[in-house]
Structure 1
């Protein structure tokens, strides 16, 4: 049965609808259409009359505006916003591809390289979202598409919020779930404060699904699933698929930590670990139309991470030499006093600021990140420390080659650290707090 619009309807004498709606999703209908002005295919999403109360219309417009705010190749472009017969609609970029949910149903668990390629691209989107203080709050396989070129696209910003922006941050939730059980973070379940680490949890659950073919929490009922999410230690994908690299297993485990403080600080850490693994991507028959080489090149471009310097606000973009010296002293005092986590955060923040001033290749940027990584060792967070050290190793390896003295020293340090981790009791080295 067709909805309130009919095939062939022309909107603004420009967008001509196709023969039938593609889907009924959420608040309305989704149609394929043709943009006559620019001669290109588009998607038109409507609010249906049955759902068109004032609050739904407001949320629909809000989603379109939020999607438009996030200017990133990993998010469908918003082309237009209008109204037809009293019903709002939004015109979006058409994505030729498949959702990750359907991809898993067809292919089963994905090759490690493809999981890394998809995860790195989604991390890039999340980092761009963090820069404008946007939290998606519904990252899951059905809200991510893989297009025919191998590019990942994050969809559906209906639950997103922007911190401290009244135009976007308030939303009435009458009859609407605040996320998806099994993928929504514990803080969402409990109605607590959410931030960019909430989306990292959803990404972790999605990566677990891609690696194993199963969601991380799949209780018999909704209540048992929620109980596992809140009360149990996060699972490890190697429990279902032993061939997963240890670094990837540690990453997913830490992303699923119950406490947001136990997750990686930003999506940049996730990208740094996954991007180097997105190599030698095998074909996915029936999904990808380009050659593997073209797919890999395109994925590398789309999966880029914005410069970390952009994460700083204009008021903190300049760091005077005296301020730097004082901040370094403060970080050293924090470390000496046993405030290792606070010291690590201070060093990471200083690295970001210094990179903005002097570029990513400045020696002090590397040194500050090295100090931040090592600060997690006395906390027993060997997984997190080794991930950060490995990211620095890969950066130095690309810049100086395998025989560089710093490269050799980092290799020895990481090997020693992993050996220590193997000797530690599980409660200290592998628990929820271990991989911060």
Structure 2
């Protein structure tokens, strides 16, 4: 039975809710809470009881899993997922900082260096999201926080979609808005399929707001705002703030282009323009504290780490997941005799695929099977058999014992077992070598 969430309630015997909810947004209520086990503040988001149905419940849980898969310092950590009084909840890292919307309301337009620094960090998050095929769809100042260290966190993936998996969250089917008028891209307004350039539009609108203290499209009514977005040329921040550098002015103008093909190709292109403008950041009174020095030292070292040699696209090229291209790369590694590298690459592809399509996706099984068999060429029959038998158990659980793929896998295991008896044992592997 569904019940209202009460102030001070104990959730799962671990999370003690605060006195008042922080907000009622998206799919439900957002509460401050205390993790009584680890003695730390957290945020608990509940699914709205009035919206509850089986499909929305699935979307809510998938949303948490999808956000948890986006491992990036600019995205809040998902700590837990559960159910209380018939209502599912997700526990999220509490951010110590201020929303950009509140920052602009308090201090007015931000220094140009800080606008660039914030935009560059958001671009980095969007690059990570795109690698997972994920589109946020609601980039705006109130969904971005500036921590006291100067680091940025992109919040609320509540409208996010994974482009190539229809099972991922599409909560707008419940009748909610697609995003925020004035910040969401024209293709969202028109109900067209979004892509990574949809988030670039939201980033452009956010940068305009930070530079000028106002939204780029702000009509008297929602209808007039939408009409301006669809029918008028995007504004330039230099019209309201003449000292905006030409490179930044052109970038924001391009990000707000009516047609997505006229926007920058990737978030990497945006980052390349913003990063050089981040020098000599001034203090922001009442916002930054001494943790900025700690984070600065950490990031300074990370910034010196050399880029690994890789066959993936460069910063200005396309970075969408391409299973056929990546599989060809694994086959090239195998053909070149780099069997262990091929196995690692295949397992990474399987992990990426599982994040978007689930562990029971047929291609995930095939990639893991290929990864296991790559060890046969190294004479590691025992290792290959352990991985294949583990895969067999998972496949039986997903498809049943009589599925053709299960029968084929059994035959492959039997054949490999016979080969092992006819071959000398491989050297003993160290602990954890199966990875």
Could you report, residue by residue, the CA deviation over 1:35-69 in whole angstroms, capped at 9, with x for unpaired residues? 23323221111123233344443443232222112
Work out whether 1:316 is the aligned partner of 2:325: yes
Work out whether 1:103 is the aligned partner of 2:69: no
CA distance in 2 between counterparts of 1:303 and 1:157 reads 27
**Greater Rg over alpha carbons, structure:** 2
Could you report, residue by residue, the CA deviation over 1:138-185 in whole angstroms, capped at 9, with x for unpaired residues? 111111111111111111112111112122054452331111111111
The Cα shift of 1:278 comes to: 1.5
Match of 1:425 in 2: none
Match of 2:278 in 1: 278
Could you report, residue by residue, the CA deviation over 1:251-306 in whole angstroms, capped at 9, with x for unpaired residues? 10110111111111100011111122212221212222227655655677899999
SS at match of 2:22: strand
CA distance in 2 between counterparts of 1:183 and 1:301 reads 35
CA distance in 1 between counterparts of 2:66 and 2:303 reads 21
Conservation of the 8 A alpha-carbon contact between 1:59 and 1:158: no
Provide the TM-score with structure 1 as the length reference: 0.67
Match of 1:46 in 2: 46
Match of 2:61 in 1: 61
SS at match of 2:158: coil
Conservation of the 8 A alpha-carbon contact between 2:21 and 2:30: yes
Provide the TM-score with structure 2 as the length reference: 0.68
Match of 1:115 in 2: 115
Work out whether 1:88 is the aligned partner of 2:88: yes
Moved more, 13-22 or 211-220: 13-22
Could you report, residue by residue, the CA deviation over 1:205-226 in whole angstroms, capped at 9, with x for unpaired residues? 0000000101111112222211
SS at match of 1:19: coil
Q: What runs of 5+ residues in structure 1 fail to find an aligned partner? A: 324-355, 357-436
Counterpart mapping for 1:20-419 below 5 A:
20-168=20-168, 170-171=170-171, 173-290=173-290, 293-294=293-294, 309=312, 311=319, 313=322, 315-317=324-326
SS at match of 1:158: coil
Match of 2:404 in 1: none
Conservation of the 8 A alpha-carbon contact between 2:60 and 2:169: no
CA distance in 2 between counterparts of 1:11 and 1:196 reads 37
Match of 2:349 in 1: none
Q: Which runs of 4+ in 1 moved over 6 A?
A: 298-308
CA distance in 2 between counterparts of 1:232 and 1:196 reads 23
> For this pair of structures, how many residues does the alignment match?
320
Conservation of the 8 A alpha-carbon contact between 1:116 and 1:274: yes
SS at match of 1:168: coil
CA distance in 1 between counterparts of 2:89 and 2:14 reads 14
CA distance in 2 between counterparts of 1:190 and 1:237 reads 25
Change (3 A) 1:25 1:303: farther
Match of 2:365 in 1: none
Conservation of the 8 A alpha-carbon contact between 1:151 and 1:302: no
Could you report, residue by residue, the CA deviation over 1:86-128 in whole angstroms, capped at 9, with x for unpaired residues? 0111000010111111111001100011101110010000000
Match of 1:6 in 2: 6
The Cα shift of 1:188 comes to: 1.0
Conservation of the 8 A alpha-carbon contact between 2:16 and 2:34: yes
Conservation of the 8 A alpha-carbon contact between 2:150 and 2:288: yes
Moved more, 8-17 or 125-134: 8-17
SS at match of 1:214: coil
Change (3 A) 1:292 1:40: closer
Conservation of the 8 A alpha-carbon contact between 1:147 and 1:288: yes
Q: What runs of 5+ residues in structure 2 fail to find an aligned partner? A: 314-318, 333-344, 346-435
Supply the RMSD in Å over aligned alpha carbons.
Answer: 2.8
